[in-house]
Structures are given as C-alpha cells and as structure tokens.
C-alpha cells in the first residue's frame, strides 16, 4: 500500500466525504478545508513555561504561530509530528471511541486530547503534556502494532462519529499515528513536553 501523503489524501474520497461533514462532540468542533490539521511539538521546558506564562489566550496563540511553529518547521523537525486530520480517529481508537478532553484511560488518553488545556477559545485546541506524561505515553504506545491499532479503530462506534469509518480511514489513521509515536519517543528521550495543537 502506498504511504499516505497530504496530496494523496486531498484527492481521496475520504477527504471529500469528511469535508461535507462537521464533527460534533463535547470537544471543540472540527472546521473546514484548511482547519483542524493536527501538530505535536516537543517543547523544551523554557518554551512550555513561556507558553503557559503568556497573558491570555490570544498571546498564547500568537506565540504558537509566530515563534514555535516557525522554529519547529524550519529548525527542529525531529521534534515535530503532523497528524493531518487523523488525530480525531487516533484519539478515538486509543481511548473508548468518544472525543473529549478527558475520556479514556491514562496514558493512552494523553496521546492527543489528554493533558493540561492551555487555550480556551473555540478556534484552537492546545493541550500540553508534561515530561512525565510524555514518558508514560511513549512507553504505552511503543509496542502498539498495526494489527492492534486497527483492531482498536474497528471498535469505534459509528454512531459516535460524524464521518464514515472505513478501512481507508483506518489505514490513514495508522499512518499518521506512527508519526505521532516517533515524536513522543524523541521527546521522552530528551525530557521534553509535548504540545498538541489543531486549528478549528
């Protein structure tokens, strides 16, 4: 099977199907074409503290967009993982099939949505995982196999999702999960935080 790329995804039936739908849940709502792209950044302690010490949500968003993302996309790509729009399915597969900030069992709940919520407006998700949580997550997901991940995905209740679950989506979610797993492993080794973000 060809590995997923953004170009392949944009041309897929799955993408066109998802773009006709919105995800409604207790967590923030998915947006349209260029929104809801997930990123995991493995932050240093100084960066995490600076993020949390910003005066308000607007300042935190500006710090993310103007400093952190610029730095990591250009200089620290080993400590960045994109998950395209797969983060929703990844979170559901690794938890109990629902999509909230606090569902599922620790530490799998903290791969995507679990952790310290550091932004509280509806246009962004920002959830920070501490170095201890990062180590716990890395240990928990290190040995998840493709078969195990896909078995978890296939247990998601379609009634909980507003997009069509499918084998194509399962493959897509598995592909991006591996990217996320790699950055947790590197972050754990470097004693870093992990920030998950997605625009809405």
Q: Is the pLDDT of residue 5 over 90?
A: no
CA distance readout (Å), 199 to 36, 64, 153, 165, 166: 5, 11, 24, 22, 24
At 193, list the tokens.
């935080």
- 71-102 b/e with 16+ CB inside 10 Å = b? ebeeeeeebbbbbbbbbbbbbbbbbbbbbebe
- At 116-131, the pLDDT tens digits run 999 999 999 999 999 9
- Gap between the Cα atoms of 12 and 99, Å rounded: 24
- Does position 19 have pLDDT exceeding 90, yes or no? no
Average pLDDT over residues 149-153: 98
pLDDT of 11 strictly over 70: no
Mean pLDDT, residues 193-198 taken together: 98
Q: Are 104 and 96 in contact (CB under 8 A)?
A: yes
Banded pLDDT at 17 (limits 50, 70, 90)? very low
* Closest to 25 measured CA to CA, from 90, 98, 83, 105: 98
In angstroms, what is the C-alpha Rg of the chain? 16
What is the average pLDDT across 164-170?
97
User: 144: which residues sit within 8 A by CB, 6+ positions away?
Assistant: 177, 181
- CA-to-CA distance for 86 and 72, rounded, in angstroms? 20
Over 50: is that where the pLDDT of 6 sits?
A: no
**89 is written with which tokens?**
């399915």
Higher-confidence position of 104 and 9: 104
124-129/116-117 β-pairing = antiparallel
- The structural domains of the chain, ordered by start, are 6-199 (3.40.1760.10)
Is it the case that residue 20 has pLDDT exceeding 80?
Answer: no
């Amino acid at each position: 099977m060809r590995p997923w790329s953004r170009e392949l995804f944009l041309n897929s039936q799955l993408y066109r199907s998802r773009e006709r739908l919105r995800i409604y849940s207790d967590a923030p709502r998915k947006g349209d074409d260029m929104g809801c792209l997930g990123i995991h950044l493995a932050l240093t302690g100084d960066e995490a503290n600076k993020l949390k010490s910003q005066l308000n949500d607007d300042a935190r968003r500006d710090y993310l967009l103007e400093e952190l993302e610029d730095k990591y996309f250009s200089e620290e790509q080993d400590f960045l993982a994109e998950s395209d729009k797969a983060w929703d399915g990844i979170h559901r597969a690794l938890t109990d099939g629902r999509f909230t900030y606090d569902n599922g069992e620790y530490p799998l709940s903290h791969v995507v949505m679990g952790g310290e919520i550091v932004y509280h407006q509806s246009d962004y998700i920002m959830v920070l995982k501490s170095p201890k949580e990062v180590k716990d997550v890395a240990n928990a997901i290190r040995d998840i196999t493709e078969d195990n991940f896909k078995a978890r995905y296939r247990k998601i209740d379609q009634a909980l999702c507003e997009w069509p679950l499918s084998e194509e989506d399962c493959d897509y979610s598995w592909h991006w999960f591996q990217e996320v797993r790699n950055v947790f492993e590197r972050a754990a080794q470097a004693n870093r935080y992990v920030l998950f973000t997605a625009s809405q």
